[in-house]
């Protein structure tokens, strides 16, 4: 017997279940105009399936779907035990098991026939047997003999992309427990369950994507978030060498400011600074790598490729200074200054840290130099390293500061200022 999909059943009654549900139709309203010669069983089947469809449409989680499905099945099919199995890592595992007398039971108590399950999964057909031990189709089934399996009706839960699971009902002691109508009804219910399982799978994927987008949007520009999501929402675990531009910006004399201001005022000032810095970084498709005290660290050309990453970083610095000037004009009672350092070069980029708390970041001498350049005493200026100035010298006027000593460097290095 082939699997009969719900759409075929609905078509035979000239009614679409989904349309009926969307219109809020009751069972009475949805009563099909069947021809006089249609069997009463057909009429009853329709009403049952409509009710099942209505009930399953109201489930919100996969587990709730499995539980409600099984309880509905027990209302319309006279079985002793039942289990809904779901496919995980290529194996069928119990999702919800039920006993007519005992109620919910552990899935391990359901001694199902692997022979029957293999048949319905491989052939995508429902199976009913009056007595499995004397059914020629299953004469090689060791589990049937071992577990003294008698009456069984089972149907695959599947859709076009593949098998999602199976519904297995049995009556241990009784033979001839299930009818052809039971088999047909279980087939239709299994297909309804498949539709809802697929919908719930898509809903869960959407929920995870929304969480991933929300987390990524805290540190990356919308364009970068979109590029990351297009490759699966993962930044990538492998550490790699890549050329980046690193920008550091911090609030000057924040310790002194903290002494002079109330804690809530200092927090508000830092939040204003981080807001203006983040806005500029995101505008130019950079990524906020970290907030450390009064300092923000941004990277360009990681985790996704970015043309003219050095130029983007300098544009960010220029925009921060413009926003700072406007802020100070609007808040003459509590202005503040910033320092900005930028450097370009090769780094190690990837998820780095303890296994329990990995964080995407960049490490290397390029990062250290950028941080030291940010420590120049001059305020509200853009100090850059040699490679950065080489990349942007055709777009900005650059003034050499000569070779300067930096903490942690054995020799002085060339430093430059972007002239605005």
**What is the average pLDDT score of the chain?**
81
Q: Pseudo-torsion of CA 266, 272, 277, 279, nearest 10°?
A: 160
Whether 58 has a pLDDT exceeding 50, the answer reads yes
Cα gap 170→150, rounded to integer Å: 7
Whether 209 has a pLDDT exceeding 60, the answer reads yes
Cα gap 328→151, rounded to integer Å: 82
pLDDT score at 380: 95
Provide the CB-side half-sphere exposure for 283 (13 A, CA): 16
Pairing of strands 240-251, 91-99: unpaired
Token representation of residue 97: 């098991």
Token representation of residue 205: 């994927």
> Mean pLDDT over residues 231-252, rounded?
80
Angle between the N-to-C axes of helices 62-76 and 40-56, in degrees from 0 to 180, rounded to the nearest 10:
160
At residue 128, the 3 state secondary structure works out as: strand
Token representation of residue 278: 């983040």
Cα gap 88→203, rounded to integer Å: 18
Cα gap 17→25, rounded to integer Å: 10
Whether 256 has a pLDDT exceeding 80, the answer reads no
Cα gap 417→407, rounded to integer Å: 19
Residue limits of CATH 3.30.70.1230 in the chain: 234-419
Of 51-55, 232-236, 266-270, give the range with the top mean pLDDT: 266-270
pLDDT score at 149: 82
| Residue, of 342 and 13, whose pLDDT is higher | 342
pLDDT score at 14: 39
Check residue 132 and report its DSSP letter.
Answer: G
Pairing of strands 338-352, 240-251: antiparallel
Whether 24 has a pLDDT exceeding 80, the answer reads no
pLDDT score at 228: 64
pLDDT score at 39: 53
Quick count: other Cβ atoms within 10 Å of Cβ 208? 11
For the chain, how many residues are written? 420
DSSP 78-117: --SEEEEEEEETTEEEEEEEEETTTEEE-GGG----HHHH
> Mean pLDDT over residues 152-156, rounded?
93
- CATH superfamily for domain 234-419: Nucleotide cyclase, GGDEF domain (3.30.70.1230)
pLDDT score at 235: 57
Token representation of residue 76: 């319309």
**CATH code of the region 6-208:** 3.30.450.40
Whether 57 has a pLDDT exceeding 90, the answer reads no
Cα gap 47→32, rounded to integer Å: 9
Cα gap 318→261, rounded to integer Å: 28
> Mean pLDDT over residues 278-290, rounded?
91
Cα gap 82→7, rounded to integer Å: 25
- Report percent pLDDT > 70 for the chain: 79
Cα gap 242→65, rounded to integer Å: 47
> Quick one: how far is CA 30 from the chain centroid?
38
Q: 226, 224, 245, 215: which is closest to 387 by C-alpha?
A: 245
pLDDT score at 361: 84
Cα gap 415→315, rounded to integer Å: 18
pLDDT score at 110: 84
pLDDT score at 311: 97
DSSP 352-396: ES-GGG-EEEEESHHHHHHHHHTT-S--S-EEE-HHHHHHHTTTS
Whether 94 has a pLDDT exceeding 90, the answer reads yes
| Residue, of 314 and 28, whose pLDDT is higher | 314
Q: 255, 264, 379, 382: which is closest to 328 by C-alpha?
A: 379
Q: What's the sign of the alpha-carbon dihedral 159, 161, 165, 171?
A: positive
| Residue, of 15 and 282, whose pLDDT is higher | 282
pTM for the model: 0.56
């Amino acid at each position: 017997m082939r699997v009969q999909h719900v759409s075929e059943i609905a078509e035979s009654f000239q009614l679409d279940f989904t349309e009926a549900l969307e219109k809020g139709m009751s069972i009475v309203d949805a009563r099909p105009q069947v021809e006089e010669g249609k069997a009463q069983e057909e009429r009853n089947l329709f009403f049952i399936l409509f009710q099942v469809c209505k009930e399953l449409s109201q489930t919100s989680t996969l587990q709730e779907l499995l539980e409600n499905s099984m309880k509905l099945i027990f209302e319309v099919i006279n079985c002793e035990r039942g289990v809904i199995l779901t496919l995980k890592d290529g194996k069928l595992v119990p999702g919800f098991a039920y006993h007519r007398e005992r109620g919910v039971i552990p899935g391990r108590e359901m001694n199902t026939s692997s022979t029957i399950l293999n048949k319905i999964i491989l052939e995508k057909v429902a199976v009913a047997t009056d007595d499995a031990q004397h059914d020629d189709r299953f004469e090689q089934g060791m589990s049937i003999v071992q577990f003294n399996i008698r009456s069984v009706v089972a149907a695959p839960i599947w859709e076009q992309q593949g098998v999602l699971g199976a519904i297995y009902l049995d009556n241990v002691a009784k033979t001839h427990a299930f009818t052809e109508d039971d088999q047909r009804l279980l087939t239709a219910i299994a297909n309804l369950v498949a539709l809802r399982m697929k919908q719930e799978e898509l809903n869960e994927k959407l929920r995870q994507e929304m969480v991933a987008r929300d987390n990524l949007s805290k540190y990356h520009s919308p364009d970068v978030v979109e590029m990351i999501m297009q490759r699966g929402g993962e930044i990538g675990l492998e550490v790699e060498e890549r050329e980046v531009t690193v920008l550091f910006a911090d609030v000057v004399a924040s310790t002194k400011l903290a002494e002079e201001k109330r804690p809530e005022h200092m927090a508000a000032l830092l939040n204003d600074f981080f807001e203006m810095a983040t806005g500029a970084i995101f505008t130019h498709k950079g990524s906020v790598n970290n907030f450390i005290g009064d300092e923000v660290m941004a990277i360009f050309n990681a985790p996704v490729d970015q043309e003219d990453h050095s130029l983007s970083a300098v544009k960010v610095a220029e925009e921060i200074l413009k926003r700072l000037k406007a802020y100070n004009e609007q808040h003459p009672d509590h202005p503040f200054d910033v320092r900005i350092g930028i450097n370009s070069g090769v780094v190690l980029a990837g998820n780095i840290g303890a296994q329990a708390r990995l964080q995407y970041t960049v490490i290397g001498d390029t990062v250290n130099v950028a941080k030291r350049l940010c420590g120049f005493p001059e305020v509200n200026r853009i100090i850059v390293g040699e490679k950065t100035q080489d990349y942007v010298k055709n777009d900005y006027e650059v003034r050499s500061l000569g070779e300067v000593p930096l903490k942690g460097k054995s020799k002085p290095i060339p430093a430059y200022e972007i002239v605005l």
